[in-house]
Structure 1
């Protein structure tokens, strides 16, 4: 297109200039116009600066956004690299696991072949031994039969001769006995006549017999007193069933056991004891308190463990003694009643013996309700009541020498004075599902896995290929209500059934069969216990009714 200049604006400007020149205030108007133009230029400059500042801000924002995007990009790249490294690591682990599984399968196959070869060799050896034994038995029977026939024939042939010899032998014996009787009578009669006729011999005999009697009585009483003194100083009381306290008599009787006890290491008090977490925390606090009390020579606190049987009360008491550096002595409540009048002296002997311990002693009384029950005129004998009073007298104050720990299945039967002497009561409950699984795994490893993998040739026990960890988990869910002792007996029953089998292999079927039998037996025991408890409640109700009637009368 051709370029054309529009001069209309210039013409309007020239016209405006001419019109402006006609006015008298033209100069002021021009000056005002110039000033307005300057103002507009400054405003334009300010606007330009603002725009430049906005452009600079936009540029810096753009740079910041670019940096943020670059940072996010780097983060994503790092994340992708980390994910890629994890994936490669997982692939490597998976390959390693597959290689290990393949090696394990190859080892299992090799072991299986070796076991089959060993089984074949054992079978051949067994058949050979059985054949040899059968032949030997056959030859021995033939030999015995031949010897018996020969003896019978010889006896028949020599019957008359043997009878004649027996008659002569009996006749000679009869004559000899008669001669001995006659000779003895003559000697005794003559000696007695001489003794009675001589008064000196009579006096000497009476004096000798008197001295002998006095010496015998003195020796008997002195020996008894000496033995009791030695027993009180060196031996252990008769009530103590088991103890870790080392005495000279124990060293003489059991030197190997004593050396093992002296060289044992201090261990965790809850090692080998499976309990609930809350109970473990409480028992660990008791162990720490006892150890610090012994270290600082403080006063020991008396404790009672109560709960169903087989829940670990005795086991923890022994571990507590070993952890705290104390000795332990185990007593049974049922041993005191049969002592009768000797029960009081036996109780004093135990506490005197405990007071002489240099390390301190935990006196653990198992089945304590058999001895520490309520004092009543009808249900307790005078001797048992006297023994209980002696026990209360010796435990009336806290001691720095011994700590009293009692265990009971029926703590409600304790005499109130006994409860007053107990500082802490700890309830041992039946194991829960997790505790039962831990107990089963612990005893399975101890009684089955370790013997089966020991490599001993004399060990007959073998373990079949099944997931025994999963099996223990399943059985733990089924055996609700069983105690730790029942679970240990259950695992020992698996071992015994495996020993009794022809191959000596513990299979999953054996485990299931024994578990079902044990659960049935446990249900029977619970039924008996429930009947006994109902009977006891009925008797208590009947006694309470009778007492109310007598009171009313």
Structure 2
């Protein structure tokens, strides 16, 4: 409605807008509307169908509005609308200017980015050019070095060829000189030989006469020397025989010399036996806790620690069933009190499957009682042959010299203490067995005899008569196996892993549950086999890349140990009926 009041609605609000279109003139007005168009028909005007009544109604409404009391409000409203439109136009203009400025900044940024890329590309090209130039310079330097090296090698080769030529010429000259010297020497020797032969032929009679005279003179000298020596020896012997004092003194001296030599020889033998019986170790003894003079001189600190050490518990580190543990503890207490009261020791037989702790308990028994122990094996007696009797007497002589008392442990005693009536035993072994029976016929307060055997039924009856107490070491049960597994797991795996001194680590799992499971799976295995199983765990960890022992690795070694034990039992069953099920009666 703004055009009704003469208000401009142009873009900037200045001046009047274009007038409304007027109705077209009628044809033929003002001298004709188609003038200048030629004979063509006039085009159809777009205002030909315009209805002027609408304008009339609008002009009438405008006149009424001007005379109305709301004309001023309408004018204000129109002005406000016009201002709003102008503000919108100004905001659009500012947005356009902001867009232009943003476009300019983007152009500047694009130019800067393009300039940066250009500089980067120039820098890269410059570096590539510098690297290429450096590469060319290095290549030229290397080519120069190669050329110089080739030149040096060529000069060296020429020098070597020159030296070789000079050396060849010198060698040829020397060879020629040696050849000429050799020829001259041969000629000189030949001339001298000819001259000597000629002189010898001319002086042959004179030379023979000189040789004859020298031989006669030598013969005469030898005869006179023999004659003089015989005369002196005869006069001396005649003087010695006629002088009875000299004869008596000579005979007495020779007699005293013979007696001294014989006495020294016997005294040496006696002293050697005495020293060997008290200070040395018999050949049959494999291991002993008895301290010798030589060991004290070699290891004084260790010997002093052993002397100052206190008695240990007899069952420390030994895992047995409750009934067997009570019995062996009574034996340990009785042996210790026997040692204190200096009474007669009892002889003990320990029998059972191998690896059940017989040797370990014998050592602990000796240490608990304050005695020395000596370990020998029956397999060492038979190979000694005739020397077995002497070695057996030396063993018991050595045992009787112990001040603290000696526990003599004979492992695998059935190897030489067999029945004498059988034909399988040799005469030398029978004589050694008789010597053993002779030295153990009575109880002693110097030594205690402990026998260990896997087959006690092969003992000679006289051996059984010398045994005071028999102890059966059976295979460990479920509880004992679990204690053994825990003890060896702590010793060989857990302790090295926690100390950190070795290349051994332990993965995270329930150790107690695993030990109980291993004890359940190792039924029928001995304590030695369980100890070997723990050692195999340690070796498996050492063989791994990171040194970590996992639960799976332990399970694998347990399966291998169980299979090996079953294979051993199959071999034992194959030896005889019933041996694999119960090899030792209770």
TM above 0.5, one fold? yes
1:416 matched to 2:461? The reply is yes
Equivalent residue, structure 1, for 2:539: 496
Equivalent residue, structure 2, for 1:463: 506
SS in 2 for 1:453: helix
Equivalent residue, structure 2, for 1:339: 384
Give the alignment of 1:372-521 within 5 angstroms.
Answer: 372-456=417-501, 459-521=502-564
Q: How many Å apart are 1:249 and its aligned residue?
A: 2.6
For 1:527 and 1:219, locate their aligned partners in 2 and report how far apart those are by CA, in whole Å. Answer: 63
Which of 265, 277, 280 is the aligned partner of 2:322?
277
Distance 1:328 1:520, change over 3 A: same
Equivalent residue, structure 2, for 1:312: 357
Equivalent residue, structure 2, for 1:103: none
Query: What is the TM-score of this pair, normalised by structure 1?
Result: 0.57
Q: How many Å apart are 1:498 and its aligned residue?
A: 0.4
Gaps of 5+ in 2: 1-159, 179-221, 234-258, 581-586
1:287 matched to 2:332? The reply is yes
Which is worse superposed, 309-318 or 255-264? Answer: 255-264
Equivalent residue, structure 1, for 2:36: none
Which of 279, 284, 287 is the aligned partner of 1:234?
279
Gaps of 5+ in 1: 1-152, 169-193, 202-213, 538-553
Cα contact 2:573–2:579 (8 A) shared by 1:
no
Distance 1:442 1:263, change over 3 A: same
Which is worse superposed, 447-456 or 253-262? Answer: 253-262
Which of 310, 313, 319 is the aligned partner of 1:268?
313
Cα contact 1:362–1:405 (8 A) shared by 2:
yes
Q: How many Å apart are 1:222 and its aligned residue?
A: 7.1
Cα contact 2:318–2:361 (8 A) shared by 1:
yes
For 2:290 and 2:471, locate their aligned partners in 1 and report how far apart those are by CA, in whole Å. Answer: 26
Distance 1:465 1:351, change over 3 A: same
1:320-346 alpha-carbon deviations (Å, 9 max, x no partner): 011111111111111111111111111
1:496-538 alpha-carbon deviations (Å, 9 max, x no partner): 000000010000011001111111111111111111124999x
For 1:408 and 1:259, locate their aligned partners in 2 and report how far apart those are by CA, in whole Å. Answer: 34
Give the alignment of 1:80-91 within 5 angstroms.
Answer: none
Which is worse superposed, 361-370 or 231-240? Answer: 231-240
Equivalent residue, structure 2, for 1:302: 347
Cα contact 2:414–2:456 (8 A) shared by 1:
yes
Cα contact 2:541–2:548 (8 A) shared by 1:
yes
How many corresponding residue pairs?
341
SS in 2 for 1:274: coil
For 2:370 and 2:512, locate their aligned partners in 1 and report how far apart those are by CA, in whole Å. Answer: 36
SS in 2 for 1:425: strand
Q: How many Å apart are 1:220 and its aligned residue?
A: 8.5
Q: How many Å apart are 1:354 and its aligned residue?
A: 1.3
SS in 1 for 2:395: helix
Cα contact 1:308–1:409 (8 A) shared by 2:
yes
For 1:536 and 1:313, locate their aligned partners in 2 and report how far apart those are by CA, in whole Å. Answer: 20
Equivalent residue, structure 1, for 2:300: 255
Give the alignment of 1:15-414 within 5 angstroms.
Answer: 226-414=271-459
SS in 2 for 1:426: strand
SS in 1 for 2:302: helix
Q: How many Å apart are 1:250 and its aligned residue?
A: 2.6
SS in 2 for 1:398: coil
1:394-418 alpha-carbon deviations (Å, 9 max, x no partner): 1111111111100000000100100
For 1:396 and 1:256, locate their aligned partners in 2 and report how far apart those are by CA, in whole Å. Answer: 39
1:184-240 alpha-carbon deviations (Å, 9 max, x no partner): xxxxxxxxxx9x989999xxxxxxxxxxxx999999987666433321221121111
Query: Once superposed, what is the RMSD of the aligned Cα atoms?
Result: 3.4
Query: What is the TM-score of this pair, normalised by structure 2?
Result: 0.54
SS in 1 for 2:533: helix
For 1:428 and 1:238, locate their aligned partners in 2 and report how far apart those are by CA, in whole Å. Answer: 29
Cα contact 1:303–1:424 (8 A) shared by 2:
yes
Cα contact 1:235–1:250 (8 A) shared by 2:
no
Report which of the two structures shows the higher radius of gyration computed on alpha carbons: 2
Q: How many Å apart are 1:252 and its aligned residue?
A: 2.3
Q: How many Å apart are 1:281 and its aligned residue?
A: 0.2
For 2:263 and 2:346, locate their aligned partners in 1 and report how far apart those are by CA, in whole Å. Answer: 46
For 1:528 and 1:320, locate their aligned partners in 2 and report how far apart those are by CA, in whole Å. Answer: 34
For 1:250 and 1:385, locate their aligned partners in 2 and report how far apart those are by CA, in whole Å. Answer: 35
User: Higher helix share goes to which structure?
Assistant: 1
